[in-house]
Structure 1
Amino acid sequence: MTPEQLRAFCLDFNAAVEEFPFGPETSVFKVAGKMFALSALDGRPLTVNLKCEPEIAERLRADHPQWIVPGYHMNKRHWNTVTVGQLPVRMVRELIEDSYDLVVAGLPRAQRLRLDRP
């Protein structure tokens, strides 16, 4: 997955936006003002921070210790840093979608319904 593909995939979700609150080098992808992905798209290797359920986060880290680690500068219980190019694209896409879905699930019901994701 290239940086352009990562950006396009993140922005393809309903109401997703890209912002730069930490400077022009760090893309923050949000839904309803809440972050679901963060990446320095010009970084080498390409990594992305993604929200994850704590039990799943631990399992992913154990299964892929070189490529999935506790979230850099994030709450280590709820965020992973994923090295994009080292994992199957399908898996990376699923992790991004799971992150988006977790953030949406935490939104008030009225906002979730507006996003068509009850």
Structure 2
Amino acid sequence: MATAAAPSSRELAHPDRTEIRLENVLHALSDPMRLLIVRDLARTEGELACSAFELPVSKSTTTHHFRVLRESGVIEQAYRGTAKKSALRRADLEALFPGLLEAVLAAAESQARRD
């Protein structure tokens, strides 16, 4: 997957909409921790700080999960002051794969109720 190089250490590389691939999105959404992050982001209209997520994994593993989501095009991240904020790329995902994100989120909610 081709991604633009980050111009500085404070700017994070994201794939352009045209570079987002279905197989990368599906891979990113296939992990339970990443799906939990996406579900939390879907509940808000704006951005959430990475520190707002309480995942039962180490900080380095959490960082890895956010990087996979960002590099696949599922989320966008930006520094706001000292906090790294994340948001779903809803518009991009809907334009490329109509209904996919909502279907995955609905299925995840259904599964969570069963568990």
TM-score, structure 2 length as denominator?
Answer: 0.28
Give the TM-score normalised by structure 1: 0.28
Larger relative contact order (CA 8 Å, sep ≥ 6): 2
Higher strand share: 1
Q: Which structure is higher in helix share? A: 2
